[in-house]
Amino acid sequence: MKLLFERSRKGRREVLLPPVSDVYTLDEKYLRKKTLHLPELSEVDIDRNYTELAKQCHGVNDGFYPLGSCTMKYNPSVNEELASLKGFTDIHPLEEEEDVQGALEVLYKAEELLKEITGMDAMTLSPAAGAHGEYTGLLLIRKYLQEKGESERVNIIVPDSAHGTNPASAVMAGFKVVNIPSNEEGGVDLEALRKAVGKDTAGLMLTNPNTLGLFDPNILEITKIVHEAGGLCYYDGANLNAVMGRVRPGDMGFDCVHLNLHKTFSTPHGGGGPGSGPVGCKGFLQDYLPGRRVEKREDGYHFFKPVKTMGQVRSFYGNFTVVVKALAYILTLGKEGIRESSGKAVLNANYMMHRMKEDYTVAYDTTCMHEFVLSLEDLKKKTGVSAMDIAKASLDYGMHPATMYFPLIVHEALMFEPAETEDKDTIDEAVRIYHELYQKAFEDPDYLHNAPHTCMIGRPDETEAARNPILRYTFEDE
Ligand SMILES: *Cc1c(COP(=O)(O)O)cnc(C)c1O
């Protein structure tokens, strides 16, 4: 595919501006020494360029996207439309409270509903993503411990099945990470946890259901062990899609939680678009929350600063239109709809897992939640075909690959999350394709080693692409 710069032709324009009469000459020192390379294109050139780029991408709107841990579900278009209403997009964060009461009401109502869904007492909508929420939640814990005079509590316990952002956020927030192993069933090893807690424990970070798609049945015991040692419990709520409307982190014993509105609550993601990672907490932590929150008084909605606030973690009030979409999503589904959607997410994952078992090996063969993990270790031993080969080959069938080589504790892992918005036909078709790929592994492994066969780019050097990406076009005269 040609780049905009390669399509450029000197003098090609779309808009012709009338000649200027007044010319202001800038001081010489402000002028460029070289002419700026701007592509010269017509409107149709630009349109075709972006349409071609869009066609090279795979989104939920193109087909199945079972990327485990990412909840790539279909987001209803109506929520996009609501978030594009001029009353939301044309306001400025510095406007007077009384002129933007509707927007404040959105923030207030979203907080209220998310509090109810998570079982928390207070919520901030400031953080811009899941990892940012983790960081914020950990700063909250840190500030609380400092105020209490317990700064010696520096350890955050993280199970080995955790999402990579958990230990990273803990370190960024100034804590030390203590890893504990999972037990045979993929849950937290209670003995290891009992050994790990002590006077230096600040808290535990946990995802439940975890990144293996398993709900930890010992959760109440786990949070009790941490609390008895004087630590706090942090819930990574990025996987709330599996449990919303059914169980609440607040009732499981967690003190603090972040959500991923861009996973669970209807904002398209992947590709770096705006996200939102609200952080909820129990009452004893709420005075430390960041930024400004909204409260409802007799004369309307008003901003207030939590009394001992940690300060800002994001400009103004976070990614507002993502919150609009979340509110629209929650209100259109309603209490029953929210519950039904998590139920179907779990049903779809279990159905797909059972069908995949006809060929593949499930890493933890038990009822899963919203996602499940296969181990292709055995297939690799027998055929030489790896999880990577199978994932790459699935691209030729118009599917997005499953998550590869994660979680780290499963060898040759492929992790599937079909999500509730897929129907049985789509899942059956995916299973049929994976069955075909399984057979191909025995018949023609080289075909799979060389897959994909239909994509523009097949097997980039991933380390090179991640460490030394070429993001800028180089001109001949540079
Ligand atoms: C996606 C995810 C995160 C990180 O969220 P981002 O918005 O990508 O920063 C954290 N934990 C879990 C379990 C996740 O699935």
Cα torsion through 384, 389, 394, 396, rounded to 10: -110
pLDDT digits (tens, 9 = 90+) for 13-41: 888 888 888 888 899 999 998 888 899 99
User: What's the 42 CA to ligand 1 centre distance in angstroms?
Assistant: 41
Q: Are residues 349 and 287 in the same domain?
A: no
pLDDT digits (tens, 9 = 90+) for 272-298: 779 999 999 999 999 999 999 999 999
What pLDDT is attached to residue 36?
Answer: 86
- Domain with 130, as residue range(s), is 78-333
Contacts of 156 (CB under 8 A, 6+ apart): 138, 167, 170, 175, 176, 177, 178, 202, 203, 204, 205, 234
89 in any annotated domain: yes
Instruction: Please indicate whether residue 163, judged by its CB atom, sits closer than 6 Å to ligand 1.
Output: yes
What token pair was written down for 363?
Answer: 């890493």
- Report d(CA 376, CA 383) in Å as an integer: 10
What pLDDT is attached to residue 476?
Answer: 81
397 in any annotated domain: yes
Q: Are residues 160 and 267 in the same domain?
A: yes
Which atom in ligand 1 lies closest to the alpha carbon of residue 165? 10
The angle formed by the CA atoms of residues 121, 122 and 127, to the nearest 5 degrees, is: 145
Average pLDDT rounded to a whole number, residues 406-432: 96
pLDDT digits (tens, 9 = 90+) for 60-108: 999 999 999 999 999 999 999 999 999 999 999 999 999 999 999 999 9
Q: With cut-offs at 50, 70 and 90, classify the pLDDT of residue 270.
A: confident
113 in any annotated domain: yes
What pLDDT is attached to residue 349?
Answer: 98
Instruction: Please indicate whether residue 238, judged by its CB atom, sits closer than 6 Å to ligand 1.
Output: yes
What pLDDT is attached to residue 285?
Answer: 98
State how beta strands 256-259 and 232-237 pair. parallel
Range with the lowest mean pLDDT among 28-37, 65-74, 247-256, 419-428? 28-37
Which atom in ligand 1 lies closest to the alpha carbon of residue 277? 7
Average pLDDT rounded to a whole number, residues 354-359: 97
User: What's the 131 CA to ligand 1 centre distance in angstroms?
Assistant: 6
What pLDDT is attached to residue 16?
Answer: 80
- Report d(CA 144, CA 233) in Å as an integer: 13
Domain boundary among 308, 333, 358: 333
Do 170 and 156 contact (CB within 8 A), yes or no?
yes
Q: With cut-offs at 50, 70 and 90, classify the pLDDT of residue 419.
A: very high
Q: Are residues 404 and 459 in the same domain?
A: yes
User: What's the 259 CA to ligand 1 centre distance in angstroms?
Assistant: 9
Query: If you take atom 3 of ligand 1, which residue's CA is the nearest one?
Result: 130
Q: Are residues 345 and 301 in the same domain?
A: no
User: What's the 130 CA to ligand 1 centre distance in angstroms?
Assistant: 5
Strand partners, 294: 303
User: What's the 438 CA to ligand 1 centre distance in angstroms?
Assistant: 30
Query: If you take atom 5 of ligand 1, which residue's CA is the nearest one?
Result: 130
- Report d(CA 203, CA 157) in Å as an integer: 6
Q: Which of 67, 135, 163, 369 to mutate to test the pocket of ligand 1 (most atoms within 8 A of CB)?
A: 163
Helices (runs of H) and strands (runs of E) counted in the chain: 17, 13
For 473, which DSSP code?
A: P
Q: Are residues 165 and 275 in the same domain?
A: yes
User: What's the 163 CA to ligand 1 centre distance in angstroms?
Assistant: 7
Q: With cut-offs at 50, 70 and 90, classify the pLDDT of residue 47.
A: very high
What pLDDT is attached to residue 21?
Answer: 87
Instruction: Please indicate whether residue 236, judged by its CB atom, sits closer than 6 Å to ligand 1.
Output: yes
pLDDT digits (tens, 9 = 90+) for 132-159: 999 999 999 999 999 999 999 999 999 9
Instruction: Please indicate whether residue 157, judged by its CB atom, sits closer than 6 Å to ligand 1.
Output: no
Contacts of 64 (CB under 8 A, 6+ apart): 398, 399, 400, 418, 422, 426, 429, 430
69 in any annotated domain: no
Q: Answer whether residue 478 shows pLDDT above 80.
A: no
Domain boundary among 297, 314, 333: 333
Picking from 230, 258, 254, the residue whose alpha carbon sits closest to that of residue 148 is 230
181 in any annotated domain: yes
Q: Are residues 248 and 339 in the same domain?
A: no
Q: Are residues 303 and 395 in the same domain?
A: no
User: What's the 457 CA to ligand 1 centre distance in angstroms?
Assistant: 27
Instruction: Please indicate whether residue 75, judged by its CB atom, sits closer than 6 Å to ligand 1.
Output: no
Q: Which of 207, 212, 263, 373 to mutate to test the pocket of ligand 1 (most atoms within 8 A of CB)?
A: 263
212 in any annotated domain: yes
> Which CATH number goes with the domain that contains 414?
3.90.1150.10
Instruction: Please indicate whether residue 371, judged by its CB atom, sits closer than 6 Å to ligand 1.
Output: no
User: What's the 403 CA to ligand 1 centre distance in angstroms?
Assistant: 13
Q: Are residues 328 and 344 in the same domain?
A: no
State how beta strands 232-237 and 201-206 pair. parallel
What pLDDT is attached to residue 14?
Answer: 83
Q: Kindly report the average pLDDT of the chain as a whole number.
A: 95
105 in any annotated domain: yes
Q: Are residues 249 and 128 in the same domain?
A: yes
Query: If you take atom 2 of ligand 1, which residue's CA is the nearest one?
Result: 238
Q: What's the structural domain count of the chain?
A: 2
* In the chain, % of residues over pLDDT 70: 100
Average pLDDT rounded to a whole number, residues 316-333: 96
Instruction: Please indicate whether residue 212, judged by its CB atom, sits closer than 6 Å to ligand 1.
Output: no
